[in-house]
Amino acid sequence: MTSLDKSLLDEFESIVGASHALHEDELVASYSTDWTGRFKGSTPLVLRPGTTEEVAQILRVASDANVALVPQGGNTGLVGGSVPLRGEVVLSLLRLNVCEPVDVLAQQVSLGAGVTLAQAQNHVSPFNLAIGVDLAARDSCTIGGMIATNAGGINVVRYGPMRDQLLGVEAVTADGSSISHLEGLEKDNTGYHLPGLFAGSEGSLAVITKARLRLHPQLDERCSAMLAFKSVGDAVSATAQLRRSVPDLHAVEVIFREAMDLVSDYISTSIPVRSDGSAWLIVEAASSSDPTDQLAQAIGDLGDLVLDVAVGHDSTSRAGLWQFREKITEAIATRGTPHKLDVTLPASELAEFVSRIPEIISEVDRRATAVMFGHLGDGNVHVNVLGDDGLEPDNEVESAVLGYVAQLGGSISAEHGIGTAKKEFLHLNRSGQEIAIFRAIKSSFDPKGILSPNTLIPAEEQ
């Protein structure tokens, strides 16, 4: 356990109450290791504030005493940003879990930062409304964490990422001052858009305590299909065609060969379409009226591009197809601790990228394997590199893969963020001038550098 002055510990504890200030090793353990098990830290204290005012008081004390903190939501982040790697205090926002009444007239809702995505979905669905972002970690990830990472997920092709859902935030900056802009006005050109700045800030600028989200009509009529392709290039071409021809396209997810074999084995279910392909798409159309005909017509128009198709009309058969996509991350975790490289490529480079990756990785680590899947509608590929026999792969695979991504004009982080895992690679996508601006923004919100000091911004060269 890292030490913290006893009087400071008492001061923090008096803000949240003894039962919400955790310091015993067994109580703080789960807050100190990330979801993948790759990033393990330690903390002298986990604080679980129940109100925005308690968050503000904690930050005032921390700022005066120069104590660094790591804000944490559901701890499902995949780049090591949510854990205390250098003995920071953990600020768990899970108790800020109030869902305010749905504003049906405006089609908006204000949610506490600690509300989980599943809770938010259940809260708005009785009003025939839906949250625009959905992802497999929905039972644990929180609204605050999703904003801080600008989470993407399976419906970006239709609604955009978390930043596009944000109409306002309430947040507390490092010195304990609160900012609140929750009116939810769709048009509000009164200067800088702070919610947009907080989206993707990974806890480095402010602690998000509440958010005002735009909602979308709930689309209960759905049709899903799994499509098998001979080559990755065919899957990319089909995606472009489907995006043009299916007005109610809701998701286009891709699973590549190793990922398909792994997940099929993990869920003990054989692949419902031809298994001799190189890539499989899971496509979903959603509407207020049955979208089966529009999807069937568009798939028919793909002609020989597709090897085989399975369609899911009702919720059971759709879930049967979707489990192949939703269970991949869990399936990978059973094989070891992967290095997760979440990247975006220009559409024209995707096929070349996927075919070259195994070779690029094996040049660095002969025994490592790449398990790839992603959100093809957004050009987003998750490259999971597993080492031999459950071990982690050689660290050099990261610079080899990310360097190749940058060379092809892609992004080294599609949706998971930079965190601690990728901050030394930020220069591959951002110029020195941009990183200098990042530092200036960080220091105007957090001049002492006490918020999430290990994420996003690389160390300055001496």
Residues lying near ligand FAD in the complex (CB under 6 A) are found at: 35, 70-78, 81-82, 93, 113, 135-137, 141-142, 144-146, 148-149, 151-153, 202-203, 207-208, 329, 415-416, 452, 455
Closest chain position to ligand FAD (CB): 145
Name which of 152 and 272 has its Cβ closer to ligand FAD: 152
CB of 275 vs ligand FAD, minimal distance in Å? 24
Q: Do residues 83 and 33 touch, judged by C-beta distance below 8 A?
A: yes
Q: Do residues 282 and 224 touch, judged by C-beta distance below 8 A?
A: yes
Name which of 246 and 418 has its Cβ closer to ligand FAD: 418
**Maximum distance among all Cα pairs of the chain, rounded to whole angstroms:** 72
Euclidean distance between the first and the last CA atom of the chain, given in angstroms as a whole number: 30
CB atoms within 10 A of CB 320: 17
Half-sphere exposure of 407 (CA within 13 A, CB side): 9
Name which of 171 and 226 has its Cβ closer to ligand FAD: 171
CB of 88 vs ligand FAD, minimal distance in Å? 10
172 closest CA partner among 146, 214, 212, 210:
210
CB of 353 vs ligand FAD, minimal distance in Å? 19
Name which of 207 and 235 has its Cβ closer to ligand FAD: 207
Query: Do β-strands 221-229 and 206-217 pair in parallel, antiparallel, or remain unpaired?
Result: unpaired
Name which of 202 and 398 has its Cβ closer to ligand FAD: 202
Angle of CA points 339, 344, 349, to nearest 5°: 115
Name which of 70 and 310 has its Cβ closer to ligand FAD: 70
Name which of 202 and 392 has its Cβ closer to ligand FAD: 202
130 in helix, strand or coil? Answer: strand
Q: Label residue 66 left, alpha or beta by phi (over 0 means left) and psi (-120 to 50 means alpha).
A: left
Name which of 149 and 287 has its Cβ closer to ligand FAD: 149
CB of 151 vs ligand FAD, minimal distance in Å? 4
CB of 110 vs ligand FAD, minimal distance in Å? 14
CB of 326 vs ligand FAD, minimal distance in Å? 8
Q: Which residues pair with 7 in a beta bridge?
A: none
Q: Which two tokens stand for residue 455?
A: 């994420």
Residue 212 and residue 195: Cα distance in Å, rounded? 10
Residue 82 and residue 63: Cα distance in Å, rounded? 20
CB of 251 vs ligand FAD, minimal distance in Å? 11
Q: Which residues contact 458 (CB under 8 A, 6 or more apart)?
A: 423, 424, 426, 427, 435
Q: Which two tokens stand for residue 85?
A: 């790697």
Say what the alpha-carbon torsion angle 167, 132, 256, 360 is, to the nearest 10 degrees. 0
Strands lying side by side in the sheet with 89-92:
21-22, 46-47, 89-92, 69-72
Name which of 94 and 307 has its Cβ closer to ligand FAD: 94
Say what the alpha-carbon torsion angle 403, 409, 412, 416 is, to the nearest 10 degrees. -160
Name which of 108 and 329 has its Cβ closer to ligand FAD: 329
12 in helix, strand or coil? Answer: helix
CB of 164 vs ligand FAD, minimal distance in Å? 13
CB of 32 vs ligand FAD, minimal distance in Å? 12
CB of 226 vs ligand FAD, minimal distance in Å? 18
CB of 281 vs ligand FAD, minimal distance in Å? 16
Name which of 29 and 106 has its Cβ closer to ligand FAD: 29
Residue 292 and residue 223: Cα distance in Å, rounded? 6
